[in-house]
């Protein structure tokens, strides 16, 4: 399997019949994989488990430990919003630009600064 393929599940429960082979199909997602290293202007990281939304308000992932975010299938450039609470002050945004070609299957690490929304 290529490095740019992600399985939606890694196991399935089946009941094979005697003397048979059973084909199991897994859903996959392919595309450019980006690993963001997110920092706030003061050097801190957004809270772990913060939601990250794209320009169409679609969920692309969650902030992990140390401000890391792994995504797949994003366009080459864009803006993402990081949201960790209901208040206007509980979010920040960053823009990104991937420099690797989509045929390069290795994840690209992109350090970004997330700018808080002001009132």
| C-alpha distance from residue 71 to each of 4, 17, 33, 90, 102 (Å) | 11, 39, 6, 21, 13
Strand partners, 110: 36
* Residue 24 included in any domain: no
What average pLDDT does the chain have? Answer: 88
Euclidean distance between CA atoms 116 and 119, whole angstroms: 10
User: Between vectors from CA 10 to CA 58 and to CA 27, what angle results, nearest 5°?
Assistant: 50
Tell me: the pLDDT tens digits for 32-80? 789 999 999 999 999 999 999 999 999 999 999 999 999 988 999 999 9
Task: Give the count of domains, the chain.
Answer: 1
Contact 15, 45 (CB under 8 A): no
Helix (H, G, I), strand (E, B) or coil at 58: coil
Domain that holds residue 89: 32-116
105: domain CATH number is 2.60.40.2070
68, 45 contact by CB (below 8 A): no
pLDDT of residue 103: 67
pLDDT tens by residue, 68-116: 999 988 999 999 999 999 988 899 999 999 987 766 677 899 999 999 9
And the tokens for 106?
A: 């290795």
Q: Is residue 108 part of a domain?
A: yes
- Give me the pLDDT at residue 119, please: 59
Q: What is the mean pLDDT of residues 20-35?
A: 80
């Amino acid at each position: 399997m290529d490095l740019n393929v992600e399985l939606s599940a890694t196991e399935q429960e089946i009941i094979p019949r005697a003397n048979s082979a059973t084909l199991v199909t897994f859903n996959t997602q392919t595309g450019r994989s980006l690993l963001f290293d997110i920092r706030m202007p003061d050097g801190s990281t957004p809270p772990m488990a913060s939601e990250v939304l794209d320009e169409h308000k679609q969920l692309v992932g969650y902030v992990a430990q140390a401000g890391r975010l792994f995504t797949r299938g994003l366009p080459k450039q864009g803006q993402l919003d990081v949201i960790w609470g209901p208040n206007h002050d509980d979010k920040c945004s960053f823009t990104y630009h991937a420099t690797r070609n989509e045929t390069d299957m290795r994840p690209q690490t992109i350090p970004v600064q997330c700018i808080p929304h002001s009132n």
